Amino acid sequence: MAETEKQLGEFGFAGDDHVVPFEVSTLDARGRIVQLGPILDTILARHDYPEPVARLLAEAMALTVLLGTSLKFDGKFILQTRSDGPVDMLVADFATPQSLRAYARFDEEKLAEAVEAGKASPGELLGTGVLALTIDQGAWMQRYQGIVQLDSTSLEDAARTYFRQSEQIPTEVRLSVARQMVRGEDGSLLEGWRAGGLLAQFLPDSSERLRLPDLPGGDGDEGDAPDPTDDAWAEVQALVGTVEADELLDPTVGAERLLYRLFHEHGVRVFDGTPVADDCSCSREKIRSILDGFSADEIEESTQDGVIHVSCEFCSKDYTFDPSEFVADE
Ligand SMILES: [Zn+2]
């Protein structure tokens, strides 16, 4: 990524579906901000998820692109939940340089009950379980996985916990999702999904300042401020705390203008944005290699009306195979 030293106002806004890195060096803070628009509609429309599930998955996608675009080498960032709530699995992954895909698994009955009972917040939809964040940078780099316990926990809180426990970096995360009226290319008004995400981290050059009381090996209590004596980080937290949920995803505000509102007194540098694209890495060859590992019985069980149909869980693309391709060696 080319670093530029443009000041706000000197260049155009990145617009939707671009992750914009920024730095506030006077506060030793760095981060990324994103507003997702069309990409959400494209991905969510394929699955026709009920609204609360779509909202939760949109939040997971915003978090995934904020975290995934930090990869410094080619690789993949995977966010996955496994939990006992109405939405028992969420998967969102980001592959460098820009590919995003995601899907959710949910129980229709449990979901209807949760909505009926007014218990359908994102945290409640997940319930109790785990969030796993995995960085996979290929065969030559060690795969890294951080696990966070979920207990009706929002993805925002889970992400903060992840950074405190696994990375030991004081981090603020804000996520916001809404269904809004947006103007289509022909000028007509359409209802569309929007998400906004902001990640800010305290990354001072001096390791002394990064060594904060609760880290490492601290008790990791929820809500502990990293260090009440560090005014710079306290200022970042206070400013990020002023961001309104609708401001975070408002296209008329935009990512850069929001950064300007928050940090202009401290001097904020904004770098070139990274576009994110709806792009699934599934292929006929990958699915064939899975089927190659099936036993003759499993192939028979998978065959309906003389063919094997496989639908990609991420992008819903259908693949059809002739079972005779997979006759096991007897
Ligand atoms: Zn696919």
User: Tens of pLDDT along 89-122?
Assistant: 999 999 999 999 999 999 999 999 999 999 999 9
Asked which of 23-27, 63-67, 132-136, 184-188 is least confident by mean pLDDT, the reply is: 184-188
Q: How far away, in angstroms, is 99 Cα from ligand 1 center? A: 12
- Exposure class string for 225-259: b at 16+ Cβ within 10 A, else e: ebbeebebbbbbbebbeebeeebbbbbebbbbebb
Query: Residue 10: its pLDDT value, please?
Result: 46
**What pLDDT does residue 229 have?**
54
How much distance in Å is there from the Cα of 310 to the middle of ligand 1? 10
pLDDT value for 9: 46
For ligand 1, the distance from its centroid to the CA atom of residue 321, given in whole angstroms, is: 16
- The three-point CA angle 254-195-186 to 5° equals 70
Give dist(CA 65, CA 212) in Å, integer. 28
pLDDT of residue 208: 59
Average pLDDT over residues 162-183: 89
pLDDT of residue 99: 96
Alpha carbon distance 228, 115 (integer Å): 39
User: Residue 12 Cα, ligand 1 centroid: separation in angstroms?
Assistant: 33
Could you tell me the distance, in angstroms and rounded to a whole number, from the CA of residue 284 to the centre of ligand 1?
A: 10
User: 102 C-alpha to center of ligand 1: Å?
Assistant: 9
CA of 312 to the centre of ligand 1 (A): 5
Between 230 and 329, the higher pLDDT residue: 230
Residue 51, C-beta contacts closer than 8 angstroms, at least 6 positions apart: 179
Q: Is the pLDDT of residue 55 over 90?
A: yes
Evaluate whether 156 touches 196 at the Cβ level (below 8 Å).
Answer: no
Strand locations in the chain (E): 18-24, 29-36, 76-83, 87-95, 99-106, 128-136, 144-151, 171-183, 189-202, 269-270, 274-275, 277-278, 303-304, 307-311, 318-321
- 213 C-alpha vs ligand 1 centroid, how far in Å? 45
282 CA to centre of ligand 1 in angstroms: 4
Q: Is 138 left (phi over 0), alpha (psi -120 to 50) or beta?
A: left
* 316 torsion bin: left (phi>0), alpha (psi -120 to 50), beta (else): left
- The predicted structure's pLDDT at residue 242: 96
CA of 47 to the centre of ligand 1 (A): 12
- Model confidence at 2, pLDDT cuts 50, 70, 90, reads very low
Distances (CA, A) of 52 to 6, 47, 87, 177, 255: 39, 13, 10, 11, 25
Calculate what percentage of the chain has a pLDDT beyond 70.
88
Query: pLDDT, tens digit, for every residue of 238-293?
Result: 999 999 999 999 988 889 999 999 999 999 999 988 899 999 999 999 999 999 99
Ligand 1 midpoint to CA 302 (Å): 19
- Percent of the residues in the chain that have a pLDDT greater than 90, as a whole number: 72
Per-residue pLDDT band at 206 (split at 50, 70, 90)? low
Distance between Cα 250 and ligand 1 center (Å) = 30
Bigger pLDDT: 45 or 2?
Answer: 45
Q: Which residues surround ligand 1, an ion (CB under 5 A)?
A: 280, 282, 312, 314-315, 317
d(CA 211, ligand 1 centre) in Å: 43
What amino acid occupies position 198? L
Residue 280: phi and psi, rounded to 5, are -100, 140
Q: How far is the CA of 103 from the centre of ligand 1 (A)?
A: 10
Please work out, in degrees rounded to the nearest 5, the angle formed at the alpha carbon of residue 291 by the alpha carbons of 289 and 296.
Answer: 135
